[in-house]
Amino acid sequence: MSSQKATPQIRTRSLKTWSAFGNLGRRPTEYEITAHNMNHTTGAIPLELGPDVNGNAWLLEHRDATKLRVADWDLFRDPAALTYGKYVAEQDDQETYIELLLEQFDRDGADRTLSVQALDMLGRALAPSRYLGHGLQMLSAYLQQLASSSYVANCAAFQTADQLRRVQLNAYRTTQLNRSHPDRGFATSERGHWENDTNWQPIRRAVELALVEFDWDRALVATNLVVKPVADLLLIDLLGRQLAAAGDHLDALMLDNLWRDCRRSQSWTAALTSFLLESDSSNGPVLQGYLDEFAPLGFAMIESGVQLLSVDGDQESAHLAAGVRADWATIVEAGGLRLGTG
């Protein structure tokens, strides 16, 4: 009988579903499972069409040929780890809160008791900002469409949805105000303010210039580091505080609720900027250069925007402008960049 021993076989683990994440060492989260490597347009030919069709040419020129250098875009993570289900659940709660506010203040007849100061501010600043919201929605949607990673695209998609929510609430309030004050021009004069009011024009100009920034890296900086944060600081945060001071507590509370969406946008933008700076040392000068180029648009937005919101003249305007500039600098610095003095 042979004494030869059988050679033990080495067992190898077969690849699991999660192998797309590499040696992660843990089960991926629901957020990662639903977001990882979901962008189907990152191949040599982005879309499953001829290489020379407009869509492919656009992606190759305005996304793939930009100056940013990133070895793996799928390493970025949204600080909020939002999935579609989580986003919908959170926003459903916020909309329930808004509906209760509207019902309560409408039942109390609050709009009929608004001060002249509040009505003037609502007419020249809040109602026309519906056009601003539409512009921010288009800018956010472009960031989503051209994003190199589904992790980034999802953040921009939720930001786009935030702007739709903002526009819808603005339209609803404008209609309510028109019913309570039909002689005030609510629901009829907003376009005139947006297109002709001197203090709206730097804001309108910044939005329209950002809309024709087609390279994704430039569009990211123009939108999420300049136009959107400054617009949010002015027409959400500051406007809400000014309306509260004028006795309009309903719109102040609604704007404070919308400010939650703005803070989430600022958070993922700072995380993405930091990620880009860490990905390649060449990205810092690129992003800082774009910010320096677009920052004058933001400073002009601030100087004109505070005029829309000021009620006590130049001294108050200067104080408000200084506050907005400081807050904007804080937002930018959170991502590792710096804002000039303007």
Nearest to 312 by CA among 89, 28, 121, 94: 121
Task: Determine the Cα–Cα distance for residues 173 and 185; give it in Å rounded to an integer.
Answer: 13
Could you tell me how far CA 115 lies from the centroid of its own chain? 32
DSSP 182-208: GGGTTTTSHHHHHHH-GGGHHHHHHHH
Alpha helix segments (H runs only) across the chain: 30-35, 54-59, 84-107, 116-121, 129-146, 150-180, 190-196, 201-211, 216-220, 228-232, 239-245, 249-279, 283-309, 314-333
User: What is the per-residue pLDDT across 113-143, written as a single tens digit (0 to 9) for each?
Assistant: 999 999 999 999 999 999 999 999 999 999 9
User: pLDDT tens digits for 70-113?
Assistant: 999 999 999 999 999 999 999 999 999 999 999 999 999 999 99
* Other Cβ atoms within 10 Å of 64 Cβ, number: 15
Q: What 3 state SS string does 135-151 have?
A: HHHHHHHHHHHHCCCHH
Look at residue 15 in the predicted model and tell me its pLDDT: 52
273 and 335 in contact (C-beta within 8 Å)?
A: yes
d(CA 127, CA 134): 12
- d(CA 260, CA 176) in angstroms, rounded, equals 23
> Tokens for 255?
């704007």
Write down how long the chain is: 342
Share of the chain above pLDDT 90, in %: 80
Q: Pick left, alpha or beta for residue 81 (phi over 0 → left; psi -120 to 50 → alpha; otherwise beta).
A: left
Distance of CA 318 to the CA centre of its chain: 26
Over residues 39-68, the mean pLDDT reads: 86
Q: How many CB atoms lie within 10 A of CB 104?
A: 11
Provide mean pLDDT across the span 235-243: 98
Q: What is the model's pLDDT at position 4?
A: 58
Q: What is the pLDDT of residues 258-295, one digit of tens each?
A: 999 999 999 999 999 999 999 999 999 999 999 999 99
Torsion (CA) 274, 55, 211, 143 in degrees, nearest 10: -30
Whole-angstrom distance, CA of residue 69 vs CA of residue 277? 10
Q: Which residue has the tokens 């309030």?
A: 173
Domain residue ranges in the chain = 81-333
Burial (CB count <10 Å: 0-12, 13-18, 19+), residue 191: exposed
Is 1.10.620.20 the CATH number for 81-333?
yes
Q: What's the mean pLDDT when you consider all of the chain?
A: 92
